[in-house]
Amino acid sequence: MSDNKSVAGEAGRWLRVGFLALTVVGPVVSTIVNRLQERTRSLRALSEQQAGVLREASLKQAEKASELTEELVARGSQLSQSLVESGSKMTSNLLERGSEVTRDLAERGNKASLELSKRGEEAARELGKRGQLMQQELQKRSQEAARELAEHRSKYWTIAGFTLGLLSAGILAYLFIRKRMQPEPETEQHIQLVPEASRTSGAGEIRTSKPQASSSAAPAQEAKPAIAVVEPEEERGVPEGTAFVGIVETKQYYPAKMPLEQITTAAEKPLTVIYFASEDEARAQGYTASK
């Protein structure tokens, strides 16, 4: 929810910036438009002035033509024959010049109107291009703002993940150090038992062996290397803390209270005995309970 609010606030901020840019650029655009309109009006006034000058010139030419005609008529009475010939030539010349002046004025008027329309179209096109550029710039800034927001959010998630990883590593290191500082349990002892001479005739020989780790046992239940101790014949017995006795050859375990003579009575060959402090330890080594 806070991310949505921050995104909405950032978008509103950029909208306000765009509105402010439009308010700043608006007067400039209006000033340019006013100047273009003034220039158009000045061009129109100039064309009208030129048209007035041309009209005045044509009027003057007409007046001069009439004056010349009157003068020719006045002189025609005096020089009828010579002036008739020259008058006809001059009339034709005047007509040609008048038509040329008229065509020239029409061409100039058309050129002036075309120039004015062309400049107006160019001004409108320029204003349209500038408006499109401003719109593209606003869109580009909006996209950049959205991209920056996405980058900020990804940075926040990265920092949060890094912090969580550091906390997890610290907790694991603390638990590991605490576990290492705890006192280790007593290692089990495996004793080499040498049966008496009276027992070798009816039972097999008993030997102790180090426990073998089972492939299915968990790493936390692995037994530590045992220390084999050979005791004198008169001190031979079950070590302290032993709860079960295992036979390596049969992979079975028996309660420690059961006499070894009872376990090895039916054996015809020497047996290897291993001691366990708990039933879980025996099962972890792959031993099963005897039936």
Higher pLDDT: 208 or 168? It is 168
Q: pLDDT per residue over 20-43, tens digit each? A: 877 877 788 788 888 888 888 888
User: What does the pLDDT read at residue 182?
Assistant: 67
- Give the C-alpha separation, 201 to 217, whole Å: 38
pLDDT for the residue numbered 208:
47
Q: How confident is the model at residue 52 (pLDDT cuts 50, 70, 90)?
A: confident
Alpha carbon 123 to its chain centroid, in Å, reads: 42
At 171 the pLDDT is 92
Alpha helices by DSSP H, the chain: 2-76, 80-181, 197-200, 260-263, 279-284
Provide the pLDDT for residue 27. 81
Q: Could you read off the pLDDT of 154-168 as tens digits, one per residue?
A: 888 889 888 988 898
204 pLDDT above the threshold of 80: no
- What mean pLDDT, rounded, does the chain reach? 75
Question: Angle at Cα 131 formed by Cα 127 and Cα 136, nearest 5°?
Answer: 150
**Model confidence at 197: pLDDT above 50:** no
Q: Which of 133-147, 202-216, 237-251 has the lowest mean pLDDT?
A: 202-216
Has this prediction a pTM greater than 0.85?
Answer: no
Under DSSP, is residue 192 helix (H, G, I), strand (E, B) or coil? strand
Q: Which residue has the higher pLDDT, 87 or 28?
A: 28
pLDDT at 61: 83
d(CA 61, CA 104): 14
